[in-house]
Amino acid sequence: MSWNPQVALAIFVGITATVEDLARREIPNWIPVAAVAGGVCASAWMDGWGGLGSSLLGTVLGFLVFLVFYLLGGMGGGDIKLMAGLGAILGAGRMLEASLWTAGIGGIFAVLALGWNALLRRGSQPESAHIPYAPAITLGAWLSLVPKG
């Protein structure tokens, strides 16, 4: 993975969002806003008008890709905004791959969380099944940046 503004932004946004989501179970709005602003500016600076267009389209795709899960109540609004922010950083071309990685990692995390909760609460009343999704989103975005081939 070569270091460039895109990679640096993805690392910063991912770590910050993950720490906030794990600690407070919410992703503050400033994180996805900073991700969109930084992603759009970096993409335009690195690749001109094409980079700007890809970043803006990545933002829209990032928002739309998990919108259905938000509407069904399975994902929080902060997660959708984080995905949109990372879409601005990754651009349209990497959003599909990042989304697939995120969904797979999120599924693995969900199964592990359910198993862990079952072990801890044998016979007691289960709490909310909500798990922080920023770690899965972060890992999915980062894995999409790993060079293939």
Report the alpha-carbon distance of residue 96 to residue 142 in Å, rounded. 13
The pLDDT score that the predictor gives to residue 3 is: 75
Q: What is the pLDDT of residues 9-58, one digit of tens each?
A: 999 999 999 999 999 999 999 999 999 999 999 999 999 999 999 999 99
In a domain, residue 119? The reply is yes
The pLDDT score that the predictor gives to residue 4 is: 87
In a domain, residue 71? The reply is yes
Can you give the residue range of the structural domain that contains 126?
A: 5-144
Number of domains in the chain: 1
In a domain, residue 45? The reply is yes
The pLDDT score that the predictor gives to residue 106 is: 92
In a domain, residue 149? The reply is no
How confident is the model over 68-77, as a mean pLDDT? Answer: 88
Give pTM, 2 decimals. 0.88
